[in-house]
Amino acid sequence: MTRPSVARIDLDALRHNARHLQALHGGRQLAVLKADAYGHGAVDCARALRGLSDGLAVAFVDEARALRAAGLTAPILVLEGAFDADEVTFAAAASLWLVVHQDRQLHLIEQASLPDGALQVWLKVDSGMHRAGFAPERARELHQRLQADPRVGSVTLMSHFARADEPGCDLTARQTALFEQATAGLPGPRSLCNSAGVLAWPSAHRDWARPGIALYGADPLLRPQGCGLRPVMTLASQVFAERWLAPGEPLGCGTGFTATEPTRVGLVALGYADGYPRTAPTGTPVAVEGRRSRLIGRVSMDMLTVDLTGLPDAGIGSPVELWGAQIPVNEVAGLAGTLAYELLCNVKRVPRHGVGYATRA
Ligand SMILES: *Cc1c(COP(=O)(O)O)cnc(C)c1O
């Protein structure tokens, strides 16, 4: 028997989410597939989204290179832009779209020898994130400069939200207003919304949406009742051994858990080396045989332990879901002190099994 731990990727759920977000935002959609599609497998996800999204987005040129090598022909936006002249040349040759967010990248483009109209550029304006992007006062001048450059075929104006996942925070409205003011009258399409913007800020919807996390079914607003999205990844395994703990007996490494009553423990062959967070405490929900139970004790590198005490039918071979449709990844992330983003893109070592759309014969 091979280790039963697996990350199942439901590509039909991915397609459902893309359609749902498209219906909310309208216009065109770039599916954000950076970090290997947040741990879901960028090539499979890109193939599943063919015909549903108008383009793809990744963080780095190397990520785009891998998608091109796999035969994907959709437009790909490189969100952090080019790092050197070779990347600019490659971008033009491979029809990648480049974000430009700093002067160095502007100079790389202006010094490149490229055919006329070879580069599609997204000019990033810093409307309040204060991380990457040009000061809003420079948007007009830079837009004109790029439009006048013969190498540049088109310029899209973009900005990124810092706190769109907080519906009560007025920063998003202020960022939108500042972006509007800085780009008023300039021609060309615009793009503001990440997932939270699409879900919570209709006033910020523009020509292009850039959803990431919501495509994978995790609500960035952490609403307990869900939001019409379906989880794409199920991190699952099976109980592979069991034992009883007598009252007073500690479990596993360190001081995570000591039984206060007779406790039946199931061992699961999946640990923090697979990306399950070591910071998840005793009590973090898991599903065993389709019923909610809890993690007990410390998560080890290759193993974790679940409570089978109230589940007399469960035993060796019982299916265990760590997150997925029964256990929202947001719930695990919250208890582990992190976000679904980090948990999903940290999944490794377990085999990834695509199910649904792109895997059917
Ligand atoms: C990662 C990223 C996104 C997607 O963000 P989500 O919160 O995952 O929807 C959109 N735009 C930019 C510039 C990004 O870096």
CATH number at residue 174: 3.20.20.10
CB count, 10 Å around CB of 35? Answer: 18
Residues 295 and 350 occupy one common structural domain: yes
In terms of residue numbers, what domain contains 274? 233-358
Residues 337 and 263 occupy one common structural domain: yes
Q: Label residue 44 by pLDDT band (50, 70, 90).
A: very high
324 lines ligand 1 (CB under 6 A): no
Pocket-testing residue among 24, 28, 134, 210, ligand 1, by greatest number of atoms within 8 A of Cβ: 210
Please report, rounded to a whole number, the percentage of residues in the chain having pLDDT higher than 70.
99
- Cα 73 to its chain centre, rounded Å, is 21
- For residue 358, the model assigns a pLDDT of 58
Choose among 78, 66, 74: nearest CA to 122. Answer: 78
Residues 200 and 248 occupy one common structural domain: no
Residues 186 and 99 occupy one common structural domain: yes
Task: Check pLDDT > 70 for residue 33.
Answer: yes
Task: Check pLDDT > 60 for residue 91.
Answer: yes
Cα–Cα distance, 55 to 229 (Å, whole number): 20
Residues 96 and 175 occupy one common structural domain: yes
Cα–Cα distance, 14 to 19 (Å, whole number): 9
Task: Check pLDDT > 90 for residue 255.
Answer: no
- Cα 336 to its chain centre, rounded Å, is 18
Number of structural domains the chain divides into? 2
Arithmetic mean of pLDDT, 240-255: 88
Task: Check pLDDT > 90 for residue 359.
Answer: no
pLDDT per position as a tens digit, 129-168: 889 999 999 999 999 999 999 999 999 999 999 999 999 9
Contacts of 320 (CB under 8 A, 6+ apart): 236, 237, 238, 239, 266, 268, 286, 287, 288, 306
Ligand 1: which atom is nearest the Cα of residue 198? Answer: 9
Asked if the structure places residue 228 within a domain, the reply is no
- For residue 360, the model assigns a pLDDT of 52
- For residue 361, the model assigns a pLDDT of 43
More confident residue, 251 or 123: 123
Strand partners, 20: none
